Structure formats: C-alpha cells, structure tokens
Structure 1
Amino acid sequence: MEPQLPLFSDPASQHISLKDGELVYCPQFFTLQEADHYMQQLLTTIHWRQEGMKMYGKHVLFPRLMAWYGDAGSSYAFSGKTYTPEAWTPELLEIKDSIIPEAGANFNSVLLNRYRHGKDSMGWHADDEPELGVNPVIASVNLGATRRFMLRHVKEGHRFELELQHGSLLIMKGTLQHYWQHQVPKTTQVSGERINLTFRVIQYTR
C-alpha cells in the first residue's frame, strides 16, 4: 500500500517536507460558507470547456472541463496548445487576493479544472512549463467533493498522497516540479463535483 499523509484537523498551515520539494497544506483555509459560495459562483460564471489534444493522430478529449483566466498577456502553453486568458471574475480576484499572503507569490493567472464526477481525472504530470519559471510557486484551491491527490518522485519512486477537501489550500513550491509528478486519479467512491483552481505566475508572455 502506498504511504498516505494524514488529513489535518488543525486549520493552520501544515508544512510538509518532501525530498526535493515542499508542500504547505491548509485544510480549512476557507470557511464552509465561503467555500460553498465560491463553488456555486464558479459553476455558473466560469466559461467551462472540454479541451483535448492529439494522440496517435486522433483528437482525444481531456476527462474534465477546463478554463484559463488571468492578466492580459498571461498566455499558457501545455499539451500542444496555447491558452489565452479570459478576464478575471470578481470571485476569482477575491480568491487570489485571499491566498497571496499565505503563498507569498503575486499570482497573475489561474487554471481551473472541473471534475464532474469520479470518472473525471488528471493524469501524471509536472507543472514545469517554461512560462512558470525555474522553481514555481503554485497554489491549489479545492472546492466540492474530496479527491485524492497523488505525488510520485520521478527518480526514486517515492509516493505520497493527500485527500484534498472542500475549502482547502495546497501550495507546491521549491524544486518540487523538477522531481515530482502529481495526478488526480479516477475513483468509483466519489460522485459529486469538484473544482480545482491552480494559481500561477507566468514569467513571460507569448
């Protein structure tokens, strides 16, 4: 069985030291009322799309809905496509301003992923695109259904996982993206929706 990091009952920041990386987990960063409000607002105000990529000559849809928002010019390229940001919504700005003091980074963009049910997922990857800089700080806000977040060390095979709950904040920083990959796997144990927001700093524009 893979090792699992425990859920924390303390709403304060929990610093998790990993080999070649660092995590900060705030399980109750937003109150239940705040998290419920943001969840409902984002479901209805965000322009959700199902994107995809070419694989073996075919167009394959990602198993989730996505959206990219941020400052003008903060375009982001991944999976063979460049995404131009939509303008910040009031709710996204509120969330961003709330997490900046904890994360210590002046975020200028956010990638939103909407997992409609347990069959929606995100495969193994690292957020190591050139636009993010050498050692990016990435802040992940989680709303809705609790989903398992898994990490694996790309060289040594170490694995860790967290159950990211409604209203939580996870910060990835240091050299983590160089040595670790992460994923949100499919599950038969979750039927509810989840929205994940990963706030980033784009270092240059395209």
Structure 2
Amino acid sequence: MDSNFQPKLCQPKQWHQIPNGSIYWDPNFVPAEEADHLFLRLKQQVAWRDDSITLFGKTMPIPRRQAWYGDASYRYSNLTLTPEPWLPDLFELKTRCEQVAHSPFNSVLANLYRDGNDSNGWHSDNEPELGRQPIIASISLGESRLFHLKHKQTKQKYTFELNAGSLLIMAGETQSYWLHTVPKTKKPKSERVNLTYRFIHDQT
C-alpha cells in the first residue's frame, strides 16, 4: 500500500488494508436527519457517568463522560464498568454495525465529548477480554472531531474527520500495532456522542 494513503480520502463503504491492520470507513453510515435525532435522544437517554481511572498509581478524572451498555462487564485502566441494559437505539445500531463488520457485538462504550477540551489520549483497545484481534466499530453523532491513528513502530499516521453519522471499524491486527486518539482542540466544538461497539469474551 502507498505510504501516503489517507483513509479519509479513500473510497467509502469499503475495507482497506493498512500496514498491520484493516479499516472500514463510511462517512455517511447513518443518514443526516436520523443522525441528528439519534444524537438528541441518546444525549438525553444514556446514563452518563463521570468516572476516574488510575494510571501509574495516579488517579485522574476521565476527560469526557461515558456509559457502558450490553451483556458483559468491561475493565480498563483499573476501572470496572458494569453494563446497563440495552437501549432500543443502541441495540438497533449494534445490529447494523454487525452486518457491516460481519462479526457479533455484545457491548458498547458510549462517550460524550462536551467541548474541545474533552478528549481521548493515545491508546489501543487491547484488553484481554476483547480477544486477540478485536473488531471495534465506532459511530459518531453530533459535532465532528479529528481521529488519528499512529503505528507503534513506524510512527506512520492516518487521520479521519469523524463527522455525524460516520462509521469507522478497526479490525485485524490494528489494536496490536496501532494507537489511536481523539485529541483536544482549541477550535470551538459542541457536543459529540461516540459509540464504540465491541465483543467481550468470557474470561472465567
């Protein structure tokens, strides 16, 4: 693959092989009017939480609000999330994501970015309960935000603008070889709801 390949410029609604990973991108997965209605409903209906995580012995508030829905608990950064029962909208979007990903999902992490100060630092979704090659499907609603991917070894980067109604799926070895982030921005930004669907494996 050409080293200058930029996923945000590629053909939508297709899988694309990147070095040590696989990406699906559809900027118009949810039609605009439906995306607007979903954003307003979920902003009101989701049981948003203000959580803290512990990294390297230091506890700090998460710079966004979040909620966990589905059929299994999830643990990351010494924080355990017990699932809320599925909301109808979240379950219906899950089914639509499964059809594209050709993979089942049993949980979703919902994030509410209140403004440009809310963010998600560089990380990989590589917790053991996600399996060896997790498939993560991310739907964006509301305000658009930039999303960066960076290869852990080569430092190669790709950038997407996650607009309202977009779907980004990371699959294959992406979580083993790539980091991703939604950085802070000084540009005026309104609220954004992000839904990341995943499958949690039984660790017992």
Q: What amino acid is aligned across from residue 60 of structure 1 in structure 2?
A: M
Deviation, 1:33, is 1.3
The counterpart of 2:114, out of the listed 113, 116, 125, is 116
Q: Write the mapping of 1:144-183 to structure 2, written as runs, cut at 5 A.
A: 144-183=142-181
Q: Does 1:46 align with 2:46?
A: yes
Aligned length: 201
Deviation, 1:59, is 3.0
* TM-score, normalization by structure 1: 0.92
Deviation, 1:106, is 1.1
Q: What amino acid is aligned across from residue 105 of structure 2 in structure 1?
A: F
Deviations 1:56-99 (A, max 9, x none): 6553101100000001xx11110111111010011111111122
Q: Which residue matches 1:5? A: 6
| Cα distance in 2 for residues equivalent to 1:45 and 1:110 | 15
| Cα distance in 1 for residues equivalent to 2:34 and 2:68 | 22
Q: Is the 2:114–2:190 contact (alpha carbons within 8 Å) kept by the matching residues of 1?
A: yes
Over 3 Å counting, the alpha-carbon distance change for 1:159 and 1:174 in structure 2 is same
Give 3-state SS (helix, strand or coil) of 2:194's partner. Answer: strand
* TM-score, normalization by structure 2: 0.93
| Cα distance in 1 for residues equivalent to 2:101 and 2:56 | 39
Q: Is the 2:146–2:182 contact (alpha carbons within 8 Å) kept by the matching residues of 1?
A: yes
Q: Is the 1:69–1:85 contact (alpha carbons within 8 Å) kept by the matching residues of 2?
A: yes
Give 3-state SS (helix, strand or coil) of 1:172's partner. Answer: strand
Deviation, 1:126, is 0.2
Q: Is the 1:8–1:27 contact (alpha carbons within 8 Å) kept by the matching residues of 2?
A: no
Q: What amino acid is aligned across from residue 26 of structure 2 in structure 1?
A: C
Over 3 Å counting, the alpha-carbon distance change for 1:179 and 1:7 in structure 2 is closer
Q: Does 1:204 align with 2:173?
A: no
| Cα distance in 2 for residues equivalent to 1:112 and 1:22 | 23
Q: Write the mapping of 1:121-140 to structure 2, written as runs, cut at 5 A.
A: 121-140=119-138
Q: What amino acid is aligned across from residue 40 of structure 2 in structure 1?
A: Q
Q: Is the 1:111–1:199 contact (alpha carbons within 8 Å) kept by the matching residues of 2?
A: yes
Deviation, 1:14, is 3.1
| Cα distance in 1 for residues equivalent to 2:182 and 2:59 | 22
Deviation, 1:190, is 3.6
Q: What amino acid is aligned across from residue 32 of structure 1 in structure 2?
A: A
Q: What amino acid is aligned across from residue 34 of structure 2 in structure 1?
A: E
